[in-house]
Amino acid sequence: MDFRLPTASGAVTLTDARLRVVDGSGSAARAGSGVGAELAAMVLGGHPPFVDAGTARVVTAGPARAPGAGVERDLGVDMTNWAVVVDEAFLVKVVRDWGGAERSVRQLDRLAAAGADFVPRTAGRIEWTVPGLGTGTVAVVSEYVAGASDGWSWAVDDLLEHLDGGPAPMWPGELGELTARLHLALAADVWPEPSSTAAGLRSRVHDALDRAAEVAAGDTSVRLANRMPALRSLADTLPDTAAGRLIPVHGDLHVGQFLRRPDGGTPRYLVVDLDGDPQTVPASLLADELEPAAVDVAHLLVSVDLVGSIAQRRLGAADARATAWAADARAQLRAAYRSALHDAGADDLLDERLLPALEVEQFARELSYAARFLPRWNYAPDAGITARYAPTADREDPPWTPPASPTT
């Protein structure tokens, strides 16, 4: 059965637990259709929408305010969910899958309770109760930081400037320290879980490698196969029991999830997108799942390699300097993260023995993500795997070269 949450300019529709934003003609809504602006006005004004089935309500995070002009534009980055910027002041996001925002809402509530100042402020959300599905958040309205860019832009620019003779980027250490603060805030209301079995993690890493091998093609497939023995050996280094506390991790932490303010204001960096892993559907399955902090740290470390991959694509050639920089940057990030935990008396939050295997898992998941969502992204994890891991000695190993595509 189809359900509609109408606005004057269109609607949010629900079919088989999938959400879609449509304009007045029923076509997929784009920036400028007015739907996002109307959803923002509902939240800002505290006025629930009319629905033709079930009930909806607005949950505000502050006093009601008058909406602005309602000027919409596209966010301009690849996103799993539907999102538009309204009046250069608010980001309106509608989730793709029913239940897909529950994890984000819960995480934002945790951070607010901990007094975290490094996430964009939330204006509120729209909850929709649908027969047979219960209540779910379908739209979230948050502060839009005008002029800020995500790490896939500023981090790559910083690296290219460095390779052109500029100063070494400072952000690896800054992100390491901020990630520790994020983890401390997310763990603040969680009863300590002192340890966990790593057997499930070991199986998960091998499964990720299996999926990557299935989707890899061409020279990527050859390079991956040549390194598979080394990758599987690292998966097997996971200890039988992991030390460290389990926490509600970010779940999709990479440099792209860090916005940097253009004015260098305080805080300079903001953490965004706490929806969890876009490859897990629905994301709400992760709402209460606790994992080792090393999951986030490994993901972030791999993204440092991916910054190096993007820089090489923009340079138009493989460049060993980018690979060497990535190794140094990862070391800085880990050291800053550990130092911040130590200063907070929370050394038990990280079991570093998990990192090599979890980094392997993340590289494999990046290949799978590219095959499923963004094929042009394949070159980036391919470059990282090729540079980081030794190939089998007796096989021909085609060299990695960046694609000619002008886009990431």
273 is in an annotated binding site: yes
Residue with tokens 């952000």: 171
Is 352 known to sit in a ligand binding site? no
The rounded distance, in Å, linking the Cα atoms of 104 and 110 is 10
**Measuring CA to CA, which residue among 212, 230, 234, 237 is closest to residue 382?**
212
- Determine contact, residues 93/124, Cβ cutoff 8 Å: no
Smallest CA-to-CA distance from 236 within 208, 215, 193, 205 is with 205
Query: What residue has token string 């390194």?
Result: 227
Element (H, E) at 20: strand 18-23
Q: What is the DSSP letter of 55?
A: E
Report the phi/psi class of residue 59: left, alpha or beta, with left for phi > 0 and alpha for psi in -120 to 50. beta
Cα distances from 378 to residues 154, 255, 313, 365, 402, in angstroms, run 21, 17, 12, 11, 10
366 is in an annotated binding site: yes
193 has binding-site annotation? no
CB 295, CB 277: distance < 8 Å = no
DSSP SS3 for 298 = helix
Residue located via tokens 């999102």: 83
Q: Does 275 belong to an annotated binding site?
A: yes
- Residue 93 assigned to a binding site: yes
**Residue listed under structure tokens 């100042």:** 117
CA dihedral sign of residues 255, 261, 262, 268: negative
Calpha distance 105→61 (Å, rounded): 12
279 is in an annotated binding site: no
Is the C-alpha dihedral spanning 37, 39, 44, 47 positive or negative? positive
Tokens of residue 92, six digits = 């309106």
3-state secondary structure of 4: strand
Contact (Cβ atoms closer than 8 angstroms) between residue 66 and residue 40: no
Q: Which residues are annotated as a binding site for ATP?
A: 93, 150
Q: Which residues are annotated as a binding site for Mg(2+)?
A: 257, 273, 275
Q: Which residues are annotated as a binding site?
A: 93, 150, 252, 257, 273, 275, 366
Q: Which residues are annotated as a binding site for D-glucosamine?
A: 252, 366
